[in-house]
Amino acid sequence: MDGLDAVGVGPPTLGRSLPEYVALYWRLVGARARSQLQYKVSFALLVIGSALNLLVDLGEILVFFRFIRSLAGWSLPEVALLYGFSSSSFAIAEALAMGFDQFHRNVVHGTFDRTLVRPLGAFFQTFASDLGVRRVGRVGQGLLVLGIAAAWLGVDWTPDRAAMLVVTLASGTTIFFSFFVIGAASSFWTVQANEVVNIFTHGGSFITAYPADVLTSWLRRFVTFVVPLAFINYYPTLYILGRSDPLGLPDWVRLLSPVAAIAMVLAARTVWSLGVRRYQSTGS
């Protein structure tokens, strides 16, 4: 796959096919996952901790609905549906992007050199260096809320809605994943400002748990047209609930999540390759 190789600027790679990459991914990540699973108590604690972290966000929503019947025009199960989409795609993205999580260390210590001399794209190697198996708690919790909310609302799973469900989870995961990659790639310029990316990853996960109707109008345009957080769950959920955009955007906008996801991938890919090209290793 030329596409994957082109992302990391490394030595020329032997032409590998997608199935070969998949096999390689599982082999590399499998070793890592097995080592994590060796420490059973640690692993269990991390699973519980990660599930609890997201429950805190859900707790906030539940507490608010003790006092109100609708938040910006959305009922509790409707907000829960939004939350289910955003928390499960965030959790899957976070698990997949685990290799990018502590990536800045490779840049600070110069160990990224090693990645560059291996006969595989730098992006693929970083991607395959870790998988957050312990995030399974978060993923499960998010999907559970999604299921309960859909059942509560009595969503009629017609083929188009079912397809929307899958496409939304895939697009949302891709959008969050791209933010994690951009965050890691920012280390090529400075490792001091990494925290700003949290605005889009953790901040994105926080704000997408609520309907975009709570946002001020400029912020709402920002998360629709600039940083496509609203496509993680808001527009697809409007479609699933059979609603139009309250601000009057045409109905087909609700179907654009995959387009937003592709745009984010392209952006992340550009930032990553620019960063890799800029990398100069450390002194000493």
Partner 1 sequence: MRLYVEVAKRAFQRQLAYRTANLAGLVTNAVFGYLRALIILALFEARGDVAGYDVTGALSYTWATQATIMCIALWGWYDVEETIRSGDVVSDLARPFSYLGYWLARDLGRAAYFFVMRCLPLVAVAVSTFGIPLPSFPLGWLAWIGTLLLATVASFGFRMLVNLTAFWTADARGLGNIAMALVTFLSGFIVPLPFLPPLVRDVCLALPFAAMVQTPSDVFVGKLAGASLLAAAGLQLAWCVALLAACQLVVAAATRRVFVQGG
Q: Which spans of this chain sit near partner 1 (rule: CB under 8 A)?
A: 39, 41-42, 44-46, 48-50, 52-53, 55-56, 59-60, 63-64, 66-72, 190, 192-196, 198-199, 203, 206-207, 210, 213-216, 219
- Specify the residue, 183 or 236, whose C-beta has the smaller distance to partner 1: 183
Least distance to partner 1, CB of residue 204, Å: 10
- Specify the residue, 166 or 226, whose C-beta has the smaller distance to partner 1: 226
Least distance to partner 1, CB of residue 263, Å: 22
Least distance to partner 1, CB of residue 127, Å: 24
Least distance to partner 1, CB of residue 191, Å: 8
Least distance to partner 1, CB of residue 49, Å: 3
- Specify the residue, 211 or 236, whose C-beta has the smaller distance to partner 1: 211
- Specify the residue, 92 or 207, whose C-beta has the smaller distance to partner 1: 207
**Residue 265: CB partners within 8 Å, gap ≥ 6?**
174, 178
Report d(CA 186, CA 197) in Å as an integer. Answer: 9
For residue 127, which amino acid is it?
F
- Specify the residue, 207 or 264, whose C-beta has the smaller distance to partner 1: 207
